């Protein structure tokens, strides 16, 4: 089975027409940043010290400034330019991560149809999340063909109703906003036809710069004039939840600085805050920790897959349910900060799940 990976990378175009990829330099910069030593970074990267310096020097010449600085008592540290290059690559990758994974899955599936006997692919349309990504990784590792499309929860559920996927992933908050959010999905779901499969319980909250330089205490601070916010796209469950929470506080979402912005994944939101392009974002906890951000929890929520009851015991869904219930997959989700997989793979009656009675 062919496996495809898609990665975003920065390419430096020089005035003379030459191009230089930063794909080798950025990981080296990250290792220098972590270790404080070019020699140690080179060793960890499997390069000679001379070769590592050569890579850095070549890019420095094209950029017109140093990537590395020496500080007494600290060894080698990244210059401001070096930090900017590292942030730029991380931002590029994380902003496109969900779509790149989905594209890789689609390309691999198409090629494998020509190279292998016909098999049942599990088609997943889902709101972006780390546990969903973990499921796709586990399916690929077990050579179970999967097509993944990251999209709004409402789009995913409507695709299920039209027969365009086997699993539709969406999330619902615990507490007072659950009913309003559930109404968004209920119109496409039939209690007789559909059932929910619990994936995880997770935390959403505020992403803040390390040390919380703006002294943000909660959602009410989003109304401040000195706060730059970065938002999820229209139609996402996260943005819908945030709309409800702000209005309860008497805050007009349209008055929040940056509320009109639109990013497709939690990782992209965290990358924006980590790069200094925004002061605060809202998303799931692992994204904040991945970028070294502070996190203020705001709400717990359930993440579900909706599917057809009649297909549960047939391939490919039966294999997916078995994987979701495995101890190995539970362990992989449990390693995600703010995620609780104790009910992973549990079947939940549609109305009980939408109302929260099945939580």
pLDDT number for residue 102:
64
Instruction: Write down the mean pLDDT value for the chain.
Output: 87
pLDDT number for residue 322:
96
* Residue among 172, 191, 194, 196 nearest 183 (CA): 172
The residue written with tokens 């970065």 in the block is 230
Q: What is the percent of the chain with per-residue pLDDT over 70, rounded to a whole number?
A: 91
Among 5-14, 119-128, 276-285, name the one with the lowest average pLDDT: 5-14
Domain coordinates of the chain in residue numbers? 1-118, 119-355
* Residue 115: pLDDT band with limits 50, 70, 90: low
Taking residues 327-331, what's their average pLDDT?
A: 96
How does pLDDT run across 70-110, given as a tens digit for each residue?
766 567 888 888 888 888 777 777 666 666 666 676 677 67
| Confidence check: pLDDT of 243 > 90 | yes
pLDDT number for residue 183:
94
CB 214 within 8 A of CB 227: yes
CATH of domain 1-118: 1.10.10.10
CB 94 within 8 A of CB 265: yes
How does pLDDT run across 25-48, given as a tens digit for each residue?
888 888 888 888 888 888 888 888
How does pLDDT run across 155-213, given as a tens digit for each residue?
999 999 999 999 999 999 999 999 999 999 999 999 999 999 999 999 999 999 999 99
pLDDT number for residue 200:
97
CA 202, CA 327: separation in Å to the nearest integer?
18
pLDDT number for residue 116:
58
Three-class SS of residue 279?
coil
CB 196 within 8 A of CB 353: yes
pTM: 0.74
* Residue 114: pLDDT band with limits 50, 70, 90: low
For the domain made up of 119-355, give the CATH fold. Answer: D-Maltodextrin-Binding Protein; domain 2 (3.40.190)
Q: What angle do CA 177, 180, 183 make, to 5 degrees?
A: 145
The residue ranking higher by pLDDT, 334 or 60, is 334
CA 359, CA 357: separation in Å to the nearest integer?
6
Taking residues 245-265, what's their average pLDDT?
A: 93
| Confidence check: pLDDT of 263 > 90 | no
The residue written with tokens 């539709």 in the block is 168
* Residue 119: pLDDT band with limits 50, 70, 90: low
């Amino acid at each position: 089975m062919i496996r495809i990976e898609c990665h975003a990378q920065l390419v430096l175009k020089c005035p003379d027409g030459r191009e230089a990829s930063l794909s080798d330099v950025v990981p080296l910069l990250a290792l220098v940043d972590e270790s404080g030593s070019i020699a140690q970074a080179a060793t960890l990267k499997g390069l000679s010290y001379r070769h590592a310096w050569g890579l850095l020097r070549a890019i420095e010449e094209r950029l017109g400034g140093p990537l590395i600085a020496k500080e007494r008592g600290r060894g080698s540290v990244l210059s401001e330019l070096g930090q900017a290059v590292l942030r730029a690559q991380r931002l590029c990758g994380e902003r496109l991560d969900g779509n790149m994974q989905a594209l890789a899955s689609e390309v691999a599936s198409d090629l494998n149809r020509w190279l292998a006997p016909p098999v049942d692919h599990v088609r997943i349309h889902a709101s972006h999340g780390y546990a969903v990504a973990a499921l796709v990784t586990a399916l690929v590792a077990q050579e179970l063909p999967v097509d993944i499309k990251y999209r709004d929860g409402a789009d995913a559920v409507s695709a299920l109703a039209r027969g365009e996927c086997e699993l539709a992933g969406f999330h619902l908050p615990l507490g007072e906003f659950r009913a309003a959010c559930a109404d968004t999905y209920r119109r496409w779901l039939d209690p007789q036809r559909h059932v929910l499969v619990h994936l995880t319980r997770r935390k959403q909250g505020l992403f803040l710069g390390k040390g919380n330089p703006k002294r943000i205490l909660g959602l009410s601070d989003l109304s401040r004039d000195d706060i730059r916010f970065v938002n999820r796209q229209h139609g996402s469950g996260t943005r819908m939840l945030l709309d409800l929470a702000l209005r309860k506080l008497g805050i007009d979402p349209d008055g929040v600085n940056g509320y009109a912005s639109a990013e497709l994944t939690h990782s992209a939101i965290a990358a924006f805050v980590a790069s200094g392009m925004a002061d605060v974002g809202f998303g799931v906890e692992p994204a904040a920790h991945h970028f070294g951000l502070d996190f203020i929890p705001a709400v717990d929520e359930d993440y579900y897959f909706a599917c057809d009851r009649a297909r549960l015991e047939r391939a490919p869904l039966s294999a997916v349910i078995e994987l979701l219930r495995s101890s190995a997959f539970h362990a992989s989700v449990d390693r995600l900060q703010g995620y609780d997989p104790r009910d992973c793979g549990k079947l939940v009656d549609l109305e009980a799940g939408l109302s929260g009675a099945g939580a």
